[in-house]
Structure 1
Amino acid sequence: MRIPDKLLSLALATFILFLSPVLTLADSPVDPLPSWNESQTKSAIIEFVSKVTRKGSPDFVEQGQRIATFDNDGTLWAEQPMYFQLFYALDQVRKMAPEHPEWKNQEPFASILNGDTSKVIASGKEGLMKIIAATHANMTTEEFASAVAQWLKTARHPKYDKPYNELVYQPMLELLDYLRANGFQTYIVSGGGVDFIRVFAEETYGIPPNQVVGSSLKARYEVRDGKPVVIKLPEINLIDDKEGKPVGIHQHIGQRPIFVAGNSDGDYQMLEWATSGSGPRFGVLVHHTDAKREWAYDRKSHIGQLHRGLDDAGKHSWHVIDMKNDWNRVFSFDKSSTTSNQATGLSQLR
């Protein structure tokens, strides 16, 4: 039986009508950075990733050379009103205090127990080293990791009343995912303790422990109670800050990153070294300008001071993220997000 032409036409039109939304959705580009407002920095990131991953591009970079390094405090998660690792150390001092009655008369422990945080910070490097020695050393690496993991489960940030590992910047999580989707290896390079960050880096950022570079104590192998262990010693091995960051990258990674992100003058040398290499390079600084959703600070801050980096960003062609204007969402729990425009797809041709 022959189907009338009008019926065939109607069936075809109906098919196309129902199929067209699917085609539109399939062909519609996906914004890889939805928590970023449309800005020069966002466009520059996408353009850089496109040119270094597109085969045939004069700036194409082989996948094994696509190394990206990120500072942690103030770049991937918040750092105010003081570094989160210091919050951990102070809490550990309070927890350990019953076993150390002598601390009531010893600084900086007495100030910690009296709640005088400003005096603790004023104790400087010498005071900090005493705190680190008491709370980070003379234990196995497993014991330390367990203590940090337990603290992260129970401790709450004083401003947001949320676990510290929820104070992570949603736009930077998207950037990490975007880079990895395009063949980049992402590393943390932090002045914070490497053993501290490794406890949560994989779950929080998708970065495995072997891709974390940080400050470290010396360590010793020994057998305790018949069990081989590594013991953390109260001696500095590496301060992975300022001039120490390029050294840490060289010793741990073995090559210069082509994409590097920081937020303070402690990251200056890392950006300077990385972006001075040959071939395409990208440097970015997170500028904390949002007093409402986070904090606004830079040149005069006691934490995450950004002075030289702001002055020299233009000279080095580093991109400066204006947190207030460039990000429509700061944290995943931030309710003040807006919908950004559609941009290029998540994965470029590798």
Structure 2
Amino acid sequence: MRFAADSARGGHAPSILMGWLVCLCVALTGCGSANTVEQSHSNAPPTVSVTPSATVLPSWQDGAARAAILKFISDVTREGASSYVPPEARIAVFDNDGTLWSEQPMPFQLLFMIDQVKAAAPRHPEWQSNPAYKALLAHDAAALEQNKKALLQLLATANSGMTTDEYDRAITTWLSATRHPTLQRPFTELIYQPQLELLDLLRTNGFKIWIVSGGTAEFMRVWASQAYGIPPEQIVGTEEKLRYQLREGKPALVREPGFAFVDDGPGKPVGIFRAIGRRPILAFGNSDGDREMLEYTAGGPGETLALLLHHDDAEREFAYDRQSALARLDKAWDQALARGWVVVSMKQDWKTVYPAPKS
């Protein structure tokens, strides 16, 4: 997903949270993202002739996107072919928010951080007179807009000071107890079934899969292994500030306000290089914040595949693209059409969106 691109300087709040604040204000005013789709899916690449099989990617329609994926996997795994890629170089990277699970009405990590503010309030009676805290409780978007700096300070205070182990437990507890505000399902049930099938197919064909997300690696590492089968060491994300200290004689890493690295936009190729050390041959994103990651992947030697998920299904999920305040798909879409990247229509290319609810 896409966060604000301006870098923080002179003690100002990190840009990633400024981007989230825009999302927060949009959500609180009820503007949402239900009907912002502007362009049809008619410019998709032509269908490639691949023998369909109901047992392969069963939640995908037999269209151009599915065919392109199957052809690419066949090409890079066929020994003796000029397009063959050895297993050690079969690196696939996926954005998380809006690519592997939903991200509306705002990134789920931000919902968690806001709940952390509310939970910390009894320890901070001074917040009762804080205009940002009052606006947050009242869902007053106009007041939040006027008190951005104070709100960011609240979020930073409530989400720092804990050890990493304490923060992990807080995330796990929140995910088990909280439901999506409109879909009324646990957040970890709002992962995309077609993407789970694609992840499994890639693993079966010798790919190593990494998440490369604008969200923090610390938040995702708690649950991504169970949700996606992707281990913590294969997650690249925004990095929060940490410091080492002894607490009651025991070594611990303690969270501090702010970010050491923002893994969004042009930061994604940097994060990939630092963490993986290889250029991916497949990249999947959903917004302008993923454009450089797809560009970096597609610019490599040999066979590559760049994919963008278009959220155009307001009935089953949400619909948003060029005009969205959150996860805007605009420049990346134009680049996809110009360079032959695959645009996956949620409405046209997916038979289903989410896994069946757990009983």
Query: Could you say which TM-score interval applies, normalised by the shorter chain?
Result: 0.7 to 0.9
| Cross-structure match for 2:281 | 258
Q: Does 1:34 align with 2:58?
A: yes
* Candidates 154, 162, 183, aligned match of 2:177: 154
1:180 maps to 2:203: yes
Matches for 1:97-116 after TM superposition, within 5 Å: 97-116=121-140
Aligned position for 2:230:
207
Q: 1:105 to 1:128 in 2, by over 3 A?
A: closer
Aligned to 1:164: 187
Contact 1:272–1:316 (8 Å) recurs in 2: no
Name the residue aligned to 2:16.
Answer: none
What is the CA RMSD across the aligned residues, in angstroms?
Answer: 1.8
Aligned to 1:86: 110
Q: Give distance in 1, aligned partners of 2:192 and 2:245.
A: 40
Q: Give the one of 13, 37, 52 matched to 2:76.
A: 52
Aligned ranges 1:265-280 → 2 under 5 Å: 265-280=288-303
Q: Give the letter for the 1:55 counterpart.
A: E
How many residues are aligned here?
A: 306
Q: Deviations over 1:9-61 (max 9, x none)?
A: xxxxxxxxxxxxxxxxxxx9552200000010100000000110111111100
Q: Which moved more, 1:281-290 or 1:325-334?
A: 325-334
**5+ residue gaps, structure 1:** 1-27, 335-350
CA distance in 2, matches of 1:267, 1:119: 31
Does the CA-based 8 Å contact 2:116-2:159 persist in structure 1? no
Q: Which residue of 2 aligns with 1:244?
A: 267
Q: Secondary structure at the match of 1:42?
A: helix
With normalisation by structure 1, the TM-score equals 0.84
Deviations 1:158-217 (A, max 9, x none): 111111111111001111111011000111100001100001100000000000111111
Per the alignment, do residues 218 and 276 of structure 1 end up closer, same or farther by CA in structure 2, a change over 3 Å counting? same
SS in 2 for 1:304: coil
Does the C-alpha gap of structure 1 residues 128 and 242 become closer, same or farther in structure 2, counting only changes over 3 Å?
Answer: farther
Q: Which stretch of the first structure deviates more once superposed, 133-142 or 33-42?
A: 133-142
| Aligned amino acid, residue 289 of structure 2 | G
Distance in 2 between residues matched to 1:159 and 1:331, nearest whole Å: 15
**1:206–1:138 distance in 2 versus 1, CA, 3 Å:** same
Report the 3-state secondary structure (helix = DSSP H, G, I; strand = E; otherwise coil) of the residue aligned with 1:261: strand
Q: Would the alpha carbon gap of residues 202 and 86 (structure 1) be closer, same or farther in structure 2, given more than 3 Å must change?
A: same
1:118, 1:266 → 2: CA distance? Answer: 26
Q: Is the 8 A contact 1:284 1:318 kept in 2?
A: yes
> Greater Rg, structure 1 or structure 2?
1
TM-score for the superposition, normalised by structure 2: 0.82
3-state SS of 1:139 partner: coil
The superposition leaves residues 269-309 of structure 1 with CA deviations (integer Å, 9 ceiling, x where unpaired) of: 11111111111110000000101001111011111110111
Q: Taking structure 1 as reference, are residues 314 and 29 closer, same or farther at Cα in structure 2, changes over 3 Å only?
A: closer
One-letter amino acid of the counterpart of residue 330, structure 2: H
Listed as ranges, the gaps of 5+ residues in structure 2 are 1-51
In the aligned structure 2, how far is the partner of 1:109 from the partner of 1:276?
Answer: 46
Q: Secondary structure at the match of 2:308?
A: strand
